[in-house]
Protein backbone atom coordinates (compact mmCIF):
# COMPACT_ATOMS: atom_id res chain seq x y z
CA UNK A 1 0.00 0.00 0.00
CA UNK A 2 1.39 3.39 -0.96
CA UNK A 3 1.37 6.28 1.42
CA UNK A 4 -1.38 8.58 0.26
CA UNK A 5 -0.66 12.20 -0.62
CA UNK A 6 -3.17 12.63 2.19
CA UNK A 7 -2.00 15.91 3.47
CA UNK A 8 -3.07 18.85 1.40
CA UNK A 9 -4.69 20.38 4.44
CA UNK A 10 -1.47 19.94 6.41
CA UNK A 11 0.34 22.12 3.92
CA UNK A 12 -2.04 24.95 4.52
CA UNK A 13 -1.56 24.67 8.24
CA UNK A 14 2.22 24.77 7.90
CA UNK A 15 2.03 27.59 5.41
CA UNK A 16 0.00 29.55 7.94
CA UNK A 17 2.62 28.93 10.62
CA UNK A 18 5.24 30.31 8.27
CA UNK A 19 3.39 33.50 7.72
CA UNK A 20 3.06 34.04 11.44
CA UNK A 21 6.81 33.60 11.79
CA UNK A 22 7.18 36.39 9.20
CA UNK A 23 9.58 34.40 7.06
CA UNK A 24 10.52 35.99 3.74
CA UNK A 25 7.83 35.47 1.11
CA UNK A 26 10.06 33.39 -1.17
CA UNK A 27 10.00 30.58 1.39
CA UNK A 28 6.29 30.29 0.89
CA UNK A 29 6.98 29.06 -2.62
CA UNK A 30 8.86 25.97 -1.43
CA UNK A 31 7.10 22.87 -2.73
CA UNK A 32 4.60 21.70 -0.18
CA UNK A 33 6.25 18.26 -0.21
CA UNK A 34 9.34 19.84 1.28
CA UNK A 35 7.43 21.14 4.29
CA UNK A 36 5.70 17.82 4.71
CA UNK A 37 8.92 15.80 4.65
CA UNK A 38 10.69 18.15 7.03
CA UNK A 39 7.83 18.02 9.50
CA UNK A 40 7.48 14.25 9.38
CA UNK A 41 11.22 13.85 9.86
CA UNK A 42 10.96 15.85 13.07
CA UNK A 43 8.51 13.26 14.41
CA UNK A 44 10.64 10.34 13.19
CA UNK A 45 13.67 11.81 14.94
CA UNK A 46 11.73 12.21 18.20
CA UNK A 47 10.79 8.53 17.96
CA UNK A 48 14.44 7.54 17.27
CA UNK A 49 13.43 6.40 13.76
CA UNK A 50 11.93 3.22 15.23
CA UNK A 51 8.38 1.89 14.83
CA UNK A 52 6.77 2.61 18.18
CA UNK A 53 4.75 -0.59 18.08
CA UNK A 54 7.06 -3.37 16.88
CA UNK A 55 10.49 -1.75 17.01
CA UNK A 56 11.36 -1.99 13.31
CA UNK A 57 14.21 0.40 12.56
CA UNK A 58 13.95 2.87 9.72
CA UNK A 59 17.10 1.42 8.13
CA UNK A 60 15.40 -2.01 7.96
CA UNK A 61 12.14 -0.45 6.83
CA UNK A 62 13.86 1.26 3.92
CA UNK A 63 15.26 -2.06 2.73
CA UNK A 64 11.91 -3.85 3.11
CA UNK A 65 9.54 -1.18 1.79
CA UNK A 66 11.81 1.33 -0.01
CA UNK A 67 10.48 4.20 2.07
CA UNK A 68 10.80 5.85 5.43
CA UNK A 69 8.68 4.92 8.43
CA UNK A 70 5.12 6.25 8.37
CA UNK A 71 3.63 8.90 10.63
CA UNK A 72 0.37 7.86 12.23
CA UNK A 73 -2.32 10.29 13.43
CA UNK A 74 -3.41 8.91 16.78
CA UNK A 75 -6.91 10.46 16.66
CA UNK A 76 -7.22 9.58 12.93
CA UNK A 77 -7.63 13.28 12.15
CA UNK A 78 -5.16 14.15 9.39
CA UNK A 79 -5.50 17.83 10.23
CA UNK A 80 -4.40 17.41 13.83
CA UNK A 81 -0.67 18.12 13.65
CA UNK A 82 -0.07 18.36 17.37
CA UNK A 83 3.09 16.34 17.88
CA UNK A 84 1.40 14.39 20.66
CA UNK A 85 -1.09 13.24 18.04
CA UNK A 86 1.66 11.89 15.79
CA UNK A 87 3.67 8.71 16.18
CA UNK A 88 6.15 6.81 14.02
CA UNK A 89 5.00 3.42 12.75
CA UNK A 90 6.21 0.92 10.16
CA UNK A 91 4.02 0.08 7.22
CA UNK A 92 2.45 -3.15 8.61
CA UNK A 93 1.74 -1.53 11.99
CA UNK A 94 0.24 1.51 10.29
CA UNK A 95 -2.14 -0.81 8.42
CA UNK A 96 -2.92 -2.74 11.58
CA UNK A 97 -4.02 0.36 13.51
CA UNK A 98 -6.66 1.16 10.91
CA UNK A 99 -8.74 -1.62 12.43
CA UNK A 100 -10.10 -1.54 15.95
CA UNK A 101 -9.50 2.22 15.94
CA UNK A 102 -10.98 3.01 19.31
CA UNK A 103 -8.67 0.67 21.15
CA UNK A 104 -5.57 1.82 19.25
CA UNK A 105 -6.35 5.44 19.91
CA UNK A 106 -6.68 4.69 23.60
CA UNK A 107 -3.42 2.72 23.56
CA UNK A 108 -1.42 5.48 21.85
CA UNK A 109 -2.89 8.26 23.94
CA UNK A 110 -1.68 6.52 27.08
CA UNK A 111 1.69 5.82 25.47
CA UNK A 112 2.19 9.43 24.34
CA UNK A 113 1.76 10.80 27.85
CA UNK A 114 5.24 9.50 28.49
CA UNK A 115 6.65 12.16 26.16
CA UNK A 116 5.45 15.08 28.26
Q: Helix, strand or coil for residue 18? A: helix
Residue from 51, 69, 71, 87 in contact with Zn ion (CB under 5 A): 51
Shortest gap between Cβ of 50 and Zn ion (angstroms)?
A: 9
Shortest gap between Cβ of 9 and Zn ion (angstroms)?
A: 26
Measured distance CA(73)–CA(83) in Å, rounded: 9
**Total residues in contact with Zn ion, by rule CB under 5 A:** 6
Residue from 14, 53, 81, 86 in contact with Zn ion (CB under 5 A): 53
* Region for 8 from its dihedrals, namely left if φ exceeds 0, alpha if ψ lies in -120 to 50, beta otherwise: alpha
Shortest gap between Cβ of 31 and Zn ion (angstroms)?
A: 29
97 binds Zn ion (CB under 5 A): no
DSSP string, 44-101: HHHTTTB-TTT--BHHHHHHHHSSPPEEEETTS-TT---GGGEEEE-HHHHHHTTSSH
Q: Which stretch binds Zn ion (CB under 5 A): 5-13, 30-38, 75-83, 90-98?
A: 90-98
Shortest gap between Cβ of 105 and Zn ion (angstroms)?
A: 17
Is residue 70 within 8 A of residue 3, CB to CB? The reply is yes
Q: Which residues bind Zn ion (CB under 5 A)?
A: 51, 53-54, 56, 90, 93
Amino acid sequence: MREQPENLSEYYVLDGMNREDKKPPYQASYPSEFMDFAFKDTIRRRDSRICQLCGTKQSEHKVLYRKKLSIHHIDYDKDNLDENNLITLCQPCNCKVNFDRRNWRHYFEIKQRGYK
